[in-house]
Structure 1
Amino acid sequence: MSNPSFHKEYLSKNYVEETRFGFWFLRSHTWQHHVLRVAINDLRSLFSDPLPVAPVLLDAGCGQGRSFQYLHQVFAPQRLIGLDADPHSLDLSRDEATRQGLAIELIGSDCATLKVADASVDILFCHQTFHHLVEQQRALAEFFRVLKPGGYLLFAESTEAYIDTWVIRWLFRHPMHVQKSAGEYLAMIREQGFEFGPQNVSYPYLWWSRSTDFGLLERWGLRRPKPAGEREETLVNVVARKPLAGVGQ
């Protein structure tokens, strides 16, 4: 199920190539409407302070550009930058920006070595990208570096409890040795120097993230949904801020 037809060299030595199904799914209505749109709206709700006005916004791991219209609608950036290590995805991102009539700056780069200047970004959006990255610590340090003091990391991830299910392992491809729980991701972000409180974190329990049956048994009334605290979280969203004083650098 690999993707050998594109024949373009990836811009990361640790790039884990997606399956054909995975690449198709990232262009689907389900991905755009039920995953991206929902995540961006949820992240918007987790801000404790007013949004930055006319921010510089970086989409780290922009894939095929399906996030661009939602990011533009919700955050009204003066600059919107899309970054990815897959040249073919960047080509599709360029096409998507053209279709949407949006001015997008595209950068081919590994998240662990961002080709972005220090303290130049107001909002860094990282959606369902981190579980693809092998060098997660380096990537998070890069996120911290490129954000301005007071800038925001918008982090939305699937956890090991979801990625390590048989159906996801069968349909998609991920570096399994770096997968983490929700708590481990949050600890990693805090240890890097980012600040956030409980009000800035959510654990979405969406139908597609149910780790065994995509929520079908609950939808049919054959199983009661587990409340928070009694389930192993499959998703975690957090809005984390780089301190104004630059603590953690």
Structure 2
Amino acid sequence: MNRAAATYVEETGFGFWFLRSHVWQHHVLRVAVDDLQKLISGALPYAPVILDAGCGQGKSFSLLQRAFSPARIIGLDADPHSLDCSRAEAQRLGLDVELIASDCAAIQLPDASVDMLFCHQTFHHLVEQEQALAEFWRVLKPGGLLLFAESTKYYIDTWVIRWLFRHPMEVQKSADEYLGMLRQQGFEFSERNVSYPYLWWSRSEDFGLLERWGIRKAKPFGQRNETLVNAAVRKPLEQARA
């Protein structure tokens, strides 16, 4: 099957199935969108154009529609089979979603054409991360929002995730490293725009079972390696015009 990205790392059969599951949509996607909404500072654009970078099978479309009432949703993915599933999902929802077979490192959209960019659990799949972030910056309008939600290397590099899924392991980063990339690109944000969810499915090694059974105590914030990072960051107006 032809891929839109030469560096695409094909998902496992289990991974493809999981991305269609209720667990993924309800416990992962929905929770992330709700959290990202709370992290946004400033006014939201009216009837925004939203790019879902790495839209997968389209399970985010209904959540983005509910949360932001966009005038236009664009779904981008490098995997043709995922885009077929996204197309079917959009039709099921009655949404007019524009779908693009594209690499995040070479987005086929004009400069400053997007109000909001949703990148959920996509970045750790990308080999050319710096180029992708530069593309996010390019297609966002001045003042545009990047909603960034990622698993870190402390989750991706656990035995259970490596066994069930496929990722380019050489590019995995910590929460601080991802935030550093966003700052280096020029995005503006403060601590108020960042969260570190510690959800059951993201607990390293055992999905938090030992904690639930009282065998091990959960490490508090600041004393653990964060497995998730969410950030609502903006492309600044002045810098974007310079």
Equivalent of residue 147 in structure 1, options 121, 125, 140? 140
Alignment partner of 1:43 out of 28, 36, 41: 36
The one-character-per-residue Cα deviations of 1:143-171 (angstroms, maximum 9, x if unpaired) are 00000000000000000000000110010
CA contact (8 A) 2:142 2:241 kept: no
Displacement after TM superposition at 1:212 (Å): 1.5
Aligned AA (2:200): W
Contact kept in structure 2, 1:192 and 1:248, CA below 8 Å: no
1:210 partnered with 2:203:
yes
Aligned partners of 1:193 and 1:247 also within 8 Å:
no
1:95 paired residue among 78, 88, 92:
88
What is the CA deviation profile of residues 28-86 of structure 1, one whole-angstrom value per residue up to 9, with x for unaligned ones?
A: 11001000000000000001112221100000000000000000000110001100011
Q: Distance in 1 between matches of 2:95 and 2:190?
A: 34
Which residue of the partner structure matches residue 25 of structure 1?
18
SS at the partner of 2:90?
helix
SS in 1 for 2:142: strand
Contact 1:193-1:248 within 8 A present in 2 as well: no
CA contact (8 A) 1:152 1:240 kept: yes
User: Does the aligned pair in 2 maintain the 1:58–1:80 contact within 8 Å?
Assistant: yes
Question: Which of 102, 124, 128 does residue 131 from structure 1 map onto?
Answer: 124
Deviation at 1:217, TM superposition (A): 1.4
Equivalence map 1:196-235=2 (5 Å): 196-235=189-228
Unaligned runs of 5+ in 2: none
Post-superposition Cα deviations, 1:163-202, rounded to whole Å, max 9, x if no partner, equal: 0001100100000000000000000010001000000000
CA distance in 2: counterparts of 1:224 and 1:39, whole angstroms: 25
TM-score where L is the length of structure 2: 0.98
Q: In structure 1, how many angstroms separate the alpha carbons of the residues matched to 2:107 and 2:9?
A: 18
Match of 1:200, as an amino acid?
A: N
* Residue 248 of structure 1: how far off its partner (Å): 9.6
Residue of 79, 89, 100 corresponding to 1:86: 79
Q: For residues 168 and 86 of structure 2, what CA distance do their matches in structure 1 show?
A: 24
TM-score, normalising length: structure 1: 0.95
Letter in 1 for 2:152: T
* Residue 122 in structure 1 maps to residue 112 in structure 2: no
Q: 1-side partners of 2:206 and 2:237: how far apart?
A: 44
CA distance in 1, matches of 2:88, 2:129: 29
Which piece of structure 1 moves more, 222-231 or 129-138?
222-231
Report the Cα offset of residue 27 of structure 1: 0.4
Check conservation: 2:200, 2:208, Cα contact below 8 A.
yes
Aligned-partner Cα distance in 2 for 1:223–1:164: 21
SS of 1:245's equivalent in the other structure is: helix
Q: What CA distance in whole angstroms lies between the structure 1 residues aligned with 2:216 and 2:38?
A: 29
1:27–1:64 contact (8 Å) kept in structure 2: yes
AA aligned opposite 1:84:
D
Percent sequence identity over matched residues? 71
* Compared CA separation, residues 196 and 113, structure 1 to 2 (3 A): same
Match of 1:187 in 2: 180
> What CA RMSD, in Å, does the superposition of the two structures yield over aligned residues?
1.1
